[in-house]
Amino acid sequence: MEQHFPIQRIIDEEGRLIDASKEHDLTKELALTLYEQMHRIRTFDRKAINLQRQGRLGTYAPFEGQEAAQVGSALALSDQDWLFPTYRDHGATLTFGADMVRTLLYWNGRVEGCVPSEKHIFPPAVPIATQIPHAVGAAWAEKRKGTKNVAVAYFGDGATSEGDFHEGMNFASVFQAPVILFNQNNQFAISVPIEKQMHSETIAQKAIAYGMPSVRIDGNDAFAVYFTMQAAVERARSGGGPTLIEAVTWRFGAHTTADDPTKYRDQARSRDRVDPLDRLEQFLKHQGDFDETWMQQLQERHQAEVEAAVTAMEQFKAPDVNDLFDHTYATLPVDVQQQKEAYLLARGK
């Protein structure tokens, strides 16, 4: 099956163009935008790990290594589209327009961190694969309304083993929902390598079970991700139904800050991998579009943005115990109301 689903690339690991047909599409503007966003979310990600180590953040799921996949896909969306992320996709949500302060709050166990900005970004799905049917339903709703909006479900390689992946894929295809099933195959589900997760050689081939188009791409090639996503989004918008995209990538670090990857894999395998940012930097350099001053400014800007977000997060109003109760129903049932009053009363004294 691998030969039926070859990994598609536009630039190689040294950042050289290999798909000549795309030459004119790789504008400087696009390359710089992709790089900039990837740099921004990496700055965020590294800061978050640091904060966690300092005890200023809860358990955190880093995405270093997956920036091209997350930024390339999110940049291909439009304002009215829907994004259904996992706990590892805040690179994508930040790129799409999620609030950085709220993203940090989320990792501090604050429910405010789940509340999306004006954009349609669902709170991260924690139970694996459950967001896939949600995305299908939201996309189906857009189709029913007659809009051209699409929905994207992000999910990992491990998620493909869950029933919800299957049931969501089936509904997507049966109802031809305008949804993109965006898989980041980082080749591990916590400690479980993909060979133990599935017997199929690729994830892309799973779409055949649903008569759904699919494509397997180099998820660390930001251009391949961007253009593949764009094509899938276009097809969905124009009534062509769903697409499964397998973006082959790699997480450099731990599953979460609570995880020790050396228990299950040789971290040298991470060090040997080409960094998606370096790869894009190489491309820019080959094109003569890389500018040290610009890079300097980028660093300063992102550093400042992230620092400001951290400050805002730390100065954010204290958790409000009312929020424990108030959002369970539109109108609180009597018993919950009584529990709340009794608890607040007892705390008062």
Partner 1 sequence: MATPINRQTEMTLVQAVTDALRTKLSEDETTLVLGEDVGKNGGVFRATDGLQEEFGEDRIVDTPLSEAGIVGTSIGLAINGFKPIVEIQFLGFIYPAYEQIMTHVSRIRMRTMGRYSVPMVIRAPYGAGIRAPEIHSDSTEALFTSMPGLKVVCPATPYDAKGLLIAAIEDPDPVLFLESMRSYRSFKEVVPSESYTVEIGKARCVSEGTDVTLIAWGAMVQVAQKAATVAQERGISCEVLDLRTLYPFDRETIAASVQKTGRAVIVHEAAAMGGLGNDLVTLINDTAFLYLRAPIARVTGFDVPVPLFALEDHYIPTPERVLATIQRTVEF
Ligand X SMILES: Cc1ncc(C[n+]2csc(CCOP(=O)(O)OP(=O)(O)O)c2C)c(N)n1
Residues found near ligand X in the complex (CB under 6 A) = 88, 126-128, 156-159, 186, 188-190, 255
> From a copy of itself, partner 1, ligand X, none, which one binds at residue 188 (CB under 5 to 8 Å depending on kind)?
ligand X
* C-beta neighbour count of 100 within 10 angstroms: 20
> Would residue 251 show up in a list of annotated catalytic residues for this protein?
yes
> Would residue 264 show up in a list of annotated catalytic residues for this protein?
yes
> From Mg ion, ligand X, a copy of itself, none, which one binds at residue 114 (CB under 5 to 8 Å depending on kind)?
none
Is 280 buried (19+), middle (13-18) or exposed (0-12) by CB count in 10 A? buried
Tell whether residue 192 is a contact of partner 1 (CB under 8 A).
yes
Indicate which single residue of 96, 106, 122, 165 sits in contact with a copy of itself (rule: CB under 8 A): 165
> Would residue 210 show up in a list of annotated catalytic residues for this protein?
no
Q: Which residue is catalytic, options 264, 269, 327, 343? A: 264
> From a copy of itself, Mg ion, partner 1, none, which one binds at residue 210 (CB under 5 to 8 Å depending on kind)?
a copy of itself
What residue type is 277 in one-letter code?
A: L
What is the nearest approach in angstroms of ligand X to the Cβ of residue 182?
A: 12
Question: What does the block give as tokens for 137?
Answer: 């339903």
What is the nearest approach in angstroms of ligand X to the Cβ of residue 245?
A: 15
Q: How far is the C-alpha of 65 from the C-alpha of 220, rounded, in Å?
A: 8
Question: What does the block give as tokens for 102?
Answer: 């709220």
Question: What does the block give as tokens for 125?
Answer: 């799905």
How many residues in total does the chain contain?
349
Give the SS3 label for residue 327: coil
Tell whether residue 237 is a contact of partner 1 (CB under 8 A).
no
Question: Measured from the CB atom, is 164 or 218 closer to a copy of itself?
Answer: 164
Question: Which residue do the tokens 């589900």 mark?
Answer: 189
CB under 8 A: which stretch of 71-79, 141-149, 194-202, 331-339 binds a copy of itself? Answer: 194-202
| Cα-based distances in Å from 20 to 65, 69, 282 | 26, 21, 17
What is the nearest approach in angstroms of partner 1 to the Cβ of residue 134?
A: 4
What is the nearest approach in angstroms of a copy of itself to the Cβ of residue 199?
A: 4
Write the interaction track for partner 1 spanning residues 257-286; mark x where CB under 8 A is met and - where it is not: -xx---xx----------------------
Tell whether residue 170 is a contact of partner 1 (CB under 8 A).
yes
Question: Measured from the CB atom, is 158 or 253 closer to ligand X?
Answer: 158
N-terminal to C-terminal alpha carbon distance within the chain: 68
Q: Vertex 251, ends 215 and 249: CA angle to 5°?
A: 20
Q: How far is the C-alpha of 165 from the C-alpha of 311, rounded, in Å?
A: 38
Helix, strand, coil share (%) of the chain residues, nearest 5: 50, 10, 40
> In angstroms, how far apart are the furthest CA atoms of the chain?
73
> From partner 1, a copy of itself, ligand X, none, which one binds at residue 59 (CB under 5 to 8 Å depending on kind)?
partner 1
Q: How far is the C-alpha of 151 from the C-alpha of 262, rounded, in Å?
A: 36
Q: How far is the C-alpha of 74 from the C-alpha of 28, rounded, in Å?
A: 19
> From ligand X, partner 1, Mg ion, none, which one binds at residue 330 (CB under 5 to 8 Å depending on kind)?
partner 1
Tell whether residue 115 is a contact of partner 1 (CB under 8 A).
yes
Tell whether residue 198 is a contact of a copy of itself (CB under 8 A).
yes
Residues at the interface with a copy of itself (CB under 8 A):
1, 161-167, 170, 173-174, 176, 196-201, 205-206, 208-212
User: Which residue numbers are catalytic?
Assistant: 251, 255, 264
